[in-house]
A and B are shown apart, each in its own frame.
Chain A
Amino acid sequence: MKRYSAWNVFRNGLSDQKKWDRVWRDPDPKKSYDVVIIGGGLHGLATAYYLAKNHGIKKVAVLEKGWLGGGNAGRNTTIVRSNYMMPDNRRFYEHSLKLWENLSHDLNFNVMFSQRSHVSLFHSPAARDAAARRYNTMRVMNSDGELWDLNRLKREVPHLNYGPDARFPILGAAVQPRAGTARHDAVAWGYARAADSYGVDILQNCEATGVTRAGNQVVSIETSRGLISTKKLGFAVAGNTSRLWRIAGLGRLPIESHKLQAFVSEPLKPLLDQVLAFGVGGAHFYISQSDKGGMVFGGDIDWYKSYAQRGNLPIVQDVAECAMSILPCLGRVRLLRHWAGIMDMSMDGSPFICKTPLSNLYLNAGWNYGGFKASPASGWFFADLIANDQPDPIIANYDLDRFSRGYNIDERGAGPDPKLHG
């Protein structure tokens, strides 16, 4: 793998960009692997990378039915934060944030993680106190978190609707300074390139069509590119987990597939430095500005179960209303594109990284809204689980049985209704 650096950018500039390597090979499937990961998204690619890097397991294949990074990897709003409150999520997402902070160097690929801070507005004393509990929990668990009063907020984030006509006047904000955004495609490509350099085979256009079992053990995977046998198998196909679960001949999961839309405006000169989150009166909205200048924003899921990667107008209107409500200067700014991705919505809004009823099958699923920011830690701990066949304590409660025990990791307190965990 030729290193990426300013020096090599300069040298290639002098030689017509002819000396760059391929970012990843396009290998034919081998007959067998030590580990096969199904799902060439961020989580699958990161898993393969950490299997090779942390555990020395390099005879690994990542199977992707389309093109790597073509699912939710490229359909999110690129926000990275760790402002979770429930202890399991706190530890997990904090680990992820720490990996993010050095990810560009680790992968030698600029994933453009910019710690521009995540600013979550509140509008009532009750909401302020709820935010205080969350951000205090972050602080006592050695993360970063601040409360900004109105004066500070006005200084840091001008142009918000601080006027008297705001339906919900802003009182202040809870802030995580280390949070920010990253370039989502670059993360997929960076992991793919780095995994590939360890010898991981990334098999694109390779759809898993069947799982061959011997008892409760996986023997091989039938794919559109032939039969592949493997010692261990991992699923990392959030959005389509239930489909694959059925292919493996397994039963039901605490997961429903829902779609989440994302939006980008035409490119503008810098207008908003931070990631802004807004949630009051049933609204749910987040917005940031990409380095290219587009306002990137999103809101709630579409509220009904769906496997269609396209959204509908009610949510389009809803997010536009939210945008105008906090940034009324956006009225003349134009929406350039909107699209949708399919989320695994789980019964408590938290994920699964766990063993399964099959002895050598491992599951990585249920990412709800948290998938993008979770990618590094998800790959890290999933690789660890696959390599050691037992979960790290940090993910010990990300198991499928937690509902039987009554161990809900419910950040929203919304209960066992997947659509409410948006």
Chain B
Amino acid sequence: MIRINCPFCGFRDHSEFTYGGDASIVFPDLDASSEAWIDAVFHRDNIDGVQRETWHHVHGCRMWVVVTRDTVTHEISAVEPAHQGIKLVLEAMTGLSSSDEDQQP
């Protein structure tokens, strides 16, 4: 079981979440070119190592989070809110970014 430190709920089993996908993808504007959209939608780096990826705390707070995880060992080094505004507010409230926190459950 992977344990994910949800910024809103604390450490939770990964079975409470669903995996989204590669968080490094920047989806283009809606009116962007077909090439830009094809690249964003269909092509993946598929990193064997540390990647940033989205997860949805679907059986929890329903927030999307960005997890930095090693895809070979499953070790997680950071979890932060996907929503940029909420991320800033949370950092202001806690005075630190979630990636600084102790990751050992």
Interface residues in chain A, defined as those with a beta carbon under 8 Å from any beta carbon in chain B: 240-243, 251-257, 303-308, 312-314, 347, 403-404, 416-419
CB atoms of A256 and B46 under 8 A apart = yes
CB atoms of B42 and A416 under 8 A apart = yes
Q: How far is B48's CA from A255's CA once the two chains are assembled, in angstroms?
A: 12
The distance from the CB of A72 to the nearest CB of chain B, in whole angstroms, is 16
Ordered by A's residue number, 26 sampled pairs between the chains whose C-beta atoms are within 8 Å are: A240-B48, A241-B46, A242-B44, A242-B45, A251-B43, A252-B43, A252-B44, A252-B46, A254-B43, A254-B44, A255-B44, A256-B44, A305-B21, A305-B22, A305-B51, A305-B53, A306-B74, A307-B71, A307-B72, A312-B1, A312-B14, A403-B41, A403-B42, A404-B38, A416-B41, A419-B19
A242 and B19 contact, Cβ closer than 8 Å, known pairs A308-B74, A312-B1, A312-B2: no
A-chain residues with CB within 8 Å of residue B71 when the two chains form the complex: 257, 305-308
A-chain residues with CB within 8 Å of residue B14 when the two chains form the complex: 304, 312, 314
CB atoms of A254 and B53 under 8 A apart = no
The distance from the CB of A78 to the nearest CB of chain B, in whole angstroms, is 27
B-chain residues with CB within 8 Å of residue A305 when the two chains form the complex: 19, 21-22, 46, 51, 53, 71
CB atoms of A417 and B48 under 8 A apart = no
The distance from the CB of B85 to the nearest CB of chain A, in whole angstroms, is 26
Which B12-35 residues have C-beta < 8 A from chain A?
Answer: 13-15, 18-19, 21-22, 34
B-chain residues with CB within 8 Å of residue A312 when the two chains form the complex: 1-2, 14
CB atoms of A303 and B18 under 8 A apart = yes
B-chain residues with CB within 8 Å of residue A306 when the two chains form the complex: 71, 74
A417 and B45 contact, Cβ closer than 8 Å, known pairs A305-B53, A306-B71: no
Please name 4 further chain A to chain B contacts, defined as beta carbons within 8 Å, in addition to the given A304-B53, A305-B53, A416-B41, sorted by A numbering: A305-B51, A308-B73, A308-B74, A314-B14
Q: How far is B22's CA from A241's CA once the two chains are assembled, in angstroms?
A: 17
A242 and B48 contact, Cβ closer than 8 Å, known pairs A304-B14, A308-B73, A403-B38: yes
CB atoms of B46 and A347 under 8 A apart = no
* Nearest B residue to A313, CB-CB: B1
B-chain residues with CB within 8 Å of residue A313 when the two chains form the complex: 1
Which B58-102 residues have C-beta < 8 A from chain A?
Answer: 71-74
A-chain residues with CB within 8 Å of residue B21 when the two chains form the complex: 256, 305, 417
Q: How far is B22's CA from A307's CA once the two chains are assembled, in angstroms?
A: 14
CB atoms of A243 and B48 under 8 A apart = yes
A-chain residues with CB within 8 Å of residue B55 when the two chains form the complex: 304
A253 and B43 contact, Cβ closer than 8 Å, known pairs A306-B74, A307-B48: yes
* Nearest A residue to B38, CB-CB: A404
The distance from the CB of B46 to the nearest CB of chain A, in whole angstroms, is 4
Q: How far is B14's CA from A419's CA once the two chains are assembled, in angstroms?
A: 15
B-chain residues with CB within 8 Å of residue A254 when the two chains form the complex: 42-44
Which of these, A255, A314, A418, A419, contacts B1 with CB under 8 Å?
A314
A253 and B41 contact, Cβ closer than 8 Å, known pairs A305-B53, A307-B71: no
* Nearest B residue to A317, CB-CB: B15
Please list the 3 inter-chain residue pairs (A to B) with the smallest Cβ-Cβ separation, ordered nearest first.
Answer: A242-B46, A304-B19, A252-B43
A252 and B1 contact, Cβ closer than 8 Å, known pairs A308-B74, A312-B14, A403-B38: no
A252 and B48 contact, Cβ closer than 8 Å, known pairs A304-B19, A306-B74, A307-B71: no
A-chain residues with CB within 8 Å of residue B38 when the two chains form the complex: 403-404
The distance from the CB of A336 to the nearest CB of chain B, in whole angstroms, is 21
Q: How far is B95's CA from A335's CA once the two chains are assembled, in angstroms?
A: 48
Q: Mark B1-17, 1 if CB is under 8 A from A, else 0.
A: 11000000000011100
The distance from the CB of A181 to the nearest CB of chain B, in whole angstroms, is 30
